[in-house]
Structure 1
Amino acid sequence: MNVALAVEPDKKSRKASKETRQQQLIEATIDSLAKRGYSDTTLANVADGAKLSRGIVNFHFESKEKLLVATLQYMADEYASHWNAALAKAQPSAAGRMWALVNADFDRKICTKRKLAAWCAFWGEAKSRPTYQALCGATDLNYQNAFVDLCAELKAEGGYDYAPEPMALGICSMLEGLWFRLMMNDGLTREKALVAAIEYVAAVFPRHLSTNGLL
């Protein structure tokens, strides 16, 4: 009995240690992508950034490509969890959910210079790396479909003269464009980007939203 009790915590400890190490390496990869870009990120500087040995990196991820795929998967999952949580906490109306989604894109949890730069590094490689496109494809589709559904609901409620799918594409493209501007570091701040996004959706849905919130 005592032996069994001693073994179980040890297994949990090893699992926790593995997850902790992997997370350290993923965070160090994000740092390296933001600082050096995709091509100049190496296993060596990731190991240095995480303050771990090169052997630890190889043990957990085996290659740079596997580490980068794991990092992209982590970022995609984090982003999806973030906007889904925003929807879950939003006011139940279509306008409330639209407001929550737009605000979520500029939350400081995910909209940071560091993470935006890492996203930019991955997007620059996506065209030549189908694995990256496949990783984010389902998440991107779910995100856009959430906007399509909201646009359809708001059209039905407000009698707006637009087609839901093109309107949703326009909103998603506007949000992505603001992220790209933030990546360019041309003086645009996260706060100003959010104001611009709110101005846009308030103009599109004037019977539901204003720059101050829900009507």
Structure 2
Amino acid sequence: MTTKENEMPGHTRPVSDERDGLMAFLEQRRYLLKLTGYGLTPEQLRATPSASELSVGGVIKHCAYTEAGWIDTVLRRPMSYPGKHDWDQHFDLDEGETLEDILAFTDRVAAETARAVAELDLDHQVPIDKSVPWNPQEYDHWTLRWVLLHLIEEIAHHTGHADIIRQSVDGATAYTLMAAAEGWPANGFVTPWKPGVPAS
């Protein structure tokens, strides 16, 4: 992952309005999640070194599929990525699947989300699937605004998982990875991550 062209600091940029704010925070959450895979070998991408059965690669992939599913629901269309990838299988990497593959998929989904959000009002109604036990039964619809807030929540939640898994793999943490990916010089706050160098 190289980020010089899309450089994004640790905090979300200033925002101009509600729609811009929702999209900016969603983009920032995705970026921080993608950073958890920075510099991993194929074996490390699949590693499950923590108490969880999850891998960094699996968490990134799951979040992209989850976002795609929500946008399909927003647009009331069939699943864009049907097949064997049921919700409980999103965490599994296919044989030969690489970090580049997963990040490219994440970027495709992000572009689809941006197109949908640009074309719809934030009050656009999104039907609630009442067959799912954790969805409220007393309401008939979400809004696009709610869906974007939920995606921010979902990706932030799973970024915490990925952070712990990544730190269990090689000791790297969010800001050391960000510093390495963006080419920050060493400073009094953070030392950029380097492969094979124990985190300090």
User: What TM-score do you get using the length of structure 1 for normalisation?
Assistant: 0.28
Q: Rg bigger for which structure?
A: 1
User: What TM-score do you get using the length of structure 2 for normalisation?
Assistant: 0.30
The structure with the greater share of residues assigned to helix is: 1
Higher RCO (C-alpha 8 Å, min separation 6): 2
